[in-house]
């Protein structure tokens, strides 16, 4: 007679027989586990209760079974116990993760609500004339110049809608312009108050969706505004200058065409945003559709001055000379990662070469700042869920700007990245809600003082900005 397990098994009723079939016993134990799981899910409890298994085990031990069958039954009981304990532990971990995720979401909403209330409480009270006057002073600090042809002889040409107009005296040009001609705000249908509010959100580090909601513009408009501002900022900042003890190196970034949609939608395997570094490189070696790799060259001195550029070819002496020629002070001591191309570059530029781990006992020659800079750049790009290669240089210059303004630790996106595991703290929330009016004004002036106008249709055919050797 074959041993049969049915619903009465849950109540502890079962039939003992020396010819018990092992498969049917296993089915009975599995049926018990499924039933207990249903009961546990209904009650919402994660407590382990093995009364039935204890009773079953006791009856097996005391029952009249063959030794082989008894051993198999006890093994199945132990396995059922282990599976039940494992399932309960997994449920507990899922519950903890759910509670932690809910807490993070609630803290993020509290933080975002504080930022929104702060921006709204300011009521956007800015002096339009003061902003325009600041742009005018920066643009015409070396004299009035026509933004269209560069002619230095211009005159005032009345006012339109309260804005001062100018006219070029050149016979070939003769165009009129204003203080914001060929700037990010040029041809914009939104007022200066919305631009100022958007820059506040940008300094706070809010996402495009949050910026569009705060300012009251479309998310596509928020995207174009961000890159127009970064274009003006990059042109105004220039490459920079370094000196003293300089730490220099580079990092690899997989080329990305994120945002480009072709008609046949065959964008390739690597059409999404990628973080820095090459993940699963051994898989890529044997892949026919290998991705192209961009390189980010980083250099930082002990005063915090930095140069950061993107190039689309392997870093060698010629590329380094193209990037750093005329931007490194004489008498500079170079600390590198040991790449021979940097040694050749140091020799060609007549720079000192030192490194703490190459036999030099002087501990001041290290690359700790360089490695920290690489980690920050990696986190900075990752916080945007990947950056398209054609905008990579803009994001690198934006990173350099917030570092120069000491805003990196107060940036919402960076704080969101660093506190993703530990959650938000009161100090973090307080830092995010600090008043950054000076930084907002600085961003406004520095992004509008140069001629960097770009129309929206140019974004589709935009090419990446790389530093390449001739």
pLDDT in tens, 261-285: 554 454 444 444 444 444 544 445 5
The pLDDT, as a whole number, for residue 180 is 87
Rounded to two decimals, the pTM is: 0.69
Q: What is the mean pLDDT of residues 395-422?
A: 66
Whether the predicted pLDDT of 429 surpasses 50? no
C-alpha gyration radius of the chain: 33
d(CA 129, CA 162): 10
> What pLDDT band is residue 231 in, cutting at 50, 70 and 90?
very high
DSSP letter for each residue of 147-211: TTT--S-EEEEEEETTEEEEEE--SS---EEETTTTSTTTT-SS-HHHHHHHHHHHHHT--HHHH
- DSSP state, residue 446: H
Contact between 418 and 453 under an 8 Å Cβ cutoff? The reply is no
Cα-to-chain-centroid distance, residue 258: 14
Among 154, 174, 183, 178, CA closest to 164 = 178
All structural domains of the chain with their residue ranges: 7-95, 124-181, 232-459
End-to-end CA distance of the chain: 90
Among 239, 362, 259, CA closest to 308 = 239
**pLDDT above 90: percentage of residues in the chain:** 16
Whether the predicted pLDDT of 211 surpasses 60? yes
Whether the predicted pLDDT of 306 surpasses 90? yes
d(CA 151, CA 215): 37
Q: What is the mean pLDDT of residues 148-175?
A: 86
3-state secondary structure 47-81: CCCCHHHHHHHHHHHHCCCCHHHHHHHHHHHHHHH
- CATH class entry, domain 232-459: alpha beta
Please, which residues have CB within 8 angstroms of residue 345's CB and are 6 or more apart in sequence?
317, 320, 321, 324, 351
């Amino acid at each position: 007679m074959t041993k049969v397990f049915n619903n009465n098994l849950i109540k502890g009723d079962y039939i003992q027989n020396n010819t018990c079939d092992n498969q049917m016993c296993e089915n009975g134990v599995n049926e018990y586990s499924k039933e207990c799981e249903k009961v546990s899910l209904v009650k919402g409890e994660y407590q382990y209760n093995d009364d039935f298994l204890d009773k079953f085990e006791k009856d097996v031990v005391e029952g009249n079974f063959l030794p082989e069958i008894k051993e198999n039954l006890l093994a199945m009981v132990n396995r059922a116990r282990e599976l039940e304990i494992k399932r309960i532990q997994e449920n507990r971990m899922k519950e903890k993760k759910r509670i932690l995720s809910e807490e993070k979401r609630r803290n993020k909403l509290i933080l975002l609500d504080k930022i929104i209330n702060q921006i709204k409480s300011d009521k956007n009270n800015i002096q339009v004339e003061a902003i325009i006057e600041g742009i005018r002073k920066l643009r015409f600090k070396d004299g009035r110049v026509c933004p269209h042809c560069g002619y230095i002889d211009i005159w005032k040409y009345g006012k339109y809608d309260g804005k001062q107009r100018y006219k070029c005296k050149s016979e070939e040009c003769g165009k009129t312009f204003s203080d914001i001609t060929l700037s990010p705000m040029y041809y914009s249908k939104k007022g200066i108050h919305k631009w100022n509010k958007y820059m506040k959100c940008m300094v706070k580090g809010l996402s495009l969706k949050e910026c569009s909601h705060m300012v009251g513009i479309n998310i596509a408009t928020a995207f174009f505004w961000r890159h127009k501002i970064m274009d003006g900022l990059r042109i105004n900042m220039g490459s920079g200058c370094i000196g003293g003890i300089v730490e220099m190196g580079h990092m690899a970034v997989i080329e990305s065409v994120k945002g480009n949609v072709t008609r046949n939608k065959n964008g390739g395997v690597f059409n999404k945003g990628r973080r820095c570094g090459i993940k699963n490189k051994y898989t890529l070696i044997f892949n026919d559709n290998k991705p192209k790799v961009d390189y980010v060259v980083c250099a930082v001195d002990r005063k915090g001055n930095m140069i950061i550029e993107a190039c689309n070819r392997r870093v060698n002496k010629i590329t380094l000379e193209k990037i750093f020629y005329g931007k490194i002070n004489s008498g500079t001591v170079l600390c590198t990662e040991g790449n021979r191309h940097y040694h050749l570059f140091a020799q060609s530029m007549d720079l000192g070469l030192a490194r703490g781990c190459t036999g030099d006992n002087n501990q001041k020659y290290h690359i700790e700042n360089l490695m920290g800079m690489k980690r920050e750049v990696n986190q900075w790009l990752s916080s945007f869920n990947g950056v398209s290669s054609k905008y990579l240089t803009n994001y690198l210059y934006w990173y350099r700007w917030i570092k120069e303004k000491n805003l990196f630790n107060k940036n919402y996106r960076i704080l969101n990245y660093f506190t993703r595991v530990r959650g938000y703290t009161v100090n973090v929330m307080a830092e995010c809600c600090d008043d950054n009016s000076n930084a907002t004004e600085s961003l406004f002036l520095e992004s509008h003082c140069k001629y960097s106008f770009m129309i929206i249709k140019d974004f589709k055919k935009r090419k990446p900005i790389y530093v390449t050797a001739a």
